[in-house]
Amino acid sequence: MVELLEILKQQKDWKRASKVAMHLPKPQRIEELEMILRKCVEEGRIGEAIETAKLLKRKLKPEELEMILIKCIEMGKLREAKKTAELLNRELKTEEIEMILMKYIEEGGLSEAREIAAKFLNRELKTEELEMILIKCIEKGQLIMATDAAELLPEPQRSRWLEMILIKCIEDGWLNGAIATARLLNRRLETKDYEMMLIKCVEKEDSFWFYSAIQLAELLPEPQRSKGLETILIKCIEKWGLDGAKEIANLICGPLRREYLEILKEYLKILE
């Protein structure tokens, strides 16, 4: 029992740890439950703290609730912070909500930040807040959410950020995102954009991105189209050998053509 309790404590599974602690002799049980309660308070776990306090046959003290509230605000846990404030017989202060909002903004949580600002602060997100969200979304590669945030900005910030997102889409080889963002800017993608995305997709050496590369190649004019398809095929041979090359070749040019036999021979060293 003690060994199980120690494992649960290491895992910070305070809910199960408190249940296991109830099977210990009374002096040790009280000691363990008090320790678990302290950890719950320090980590802002209001639910587990309430349940552990019940096992100790008492209510949470005001100072414990205040500590939990501070931690919940630091972590941006709005629901838990509201519940804790209610136990303190008060509502969350405006500055406390602003701190929770900032946590979502720093993490790039657009929808959550908008909801908190509208519901609890009766306002829209500010330009600088949206730009902070944009920076985080782009860092995390969440380009759809970044586009949504950019659309909420006034001009010229809107267009400037959409241009940055478009560049990122092209650099990442994300065709659908690039097309959608270019449309928001009232422009069309150029041949060089498609070529850059194709190269990036092929470099990723993943089946999903190879299929994206094929889509991109089909959007190119000749002779770039044929050159792009050949680049895809060569990379497939390098990565998956003959079987993979055949599969991709059937997608992009029908059964393997004669001009590709030399490529196969060069890379596989098995064809005469």
pTM flag (> 0.85): no
Domain assignment of residue 197, yes or no? no
Q: 242-266 b/e with 16+ CB inside 10 Å = b?
A: bebbbebbeebbeebeeebeebbee
Reported confidence tier of residue 253, pLDDT bands at 50, 70, 90: low
Q: Where in the sequence is the domain holding 223, given as residue range(s)?
A: 202-272
pLDDT at 35 over 60: yes
C-alpha–C-alpha distance, residues 20 and 4, integer Å: 8
Residue 217 lies in a domain: yes
Domain boundary among 88, 108, 126: 88
What is the rounded average pLDDT for all residues in the chain? Answer: 87
In a domain, 125, yes or no: no
Which of 88, 103, 131 terminates a domain? The answer is: 88
The answer to whether residue 151 is domain-embedded is no
Does some domain include residue 238? yes
> pLDDT band for position 20 (50/70/90)?
confident
Q: What tokens were used for 111?
A: 């929808």
Whether residue 52 is contained in a domain is answered as yes
Task: Please report whether residue 65 resides in a domain.
Answer: yes
- Percent of the chain topping pLDDT 90: 64
Domain count of the chain?
2
Q: Which pLDDT band, with edges at 50, 70 and 90, does 256 fall under?
A: very low
Give the tens place of pLDDT for each residue, 217-228: 888 898 888 888
Among 162-166, 184-188, 236-240, 248-252, where is mean pLDDT lowest? 248-252
CB 209 within 8 A of CB 201: yes
* The pLDDT value given to residue 271: 37
Query: Is residue 118 a part of any domain in this protein?
Result: no
**pLDDT of residue 168 exceeding 80:** yes
- Give the Cα separation of 198 and 172 in Å (integer): 10
Residue 155 has pLDDT above 70, yes or no: yes
- Tens-place pLDDT, residues 88-116: 999 999 999 999 999 999 999 999 999 99
Domain final residue, candidates 64, 88, 112 = 88
Place of tokens 């928001």: 184
Give SS3 for 206. coil
Per-residue model confidence (pLDDT) at position 183: 95
Residue 55 has pLDDT above 80, yes or no: yes
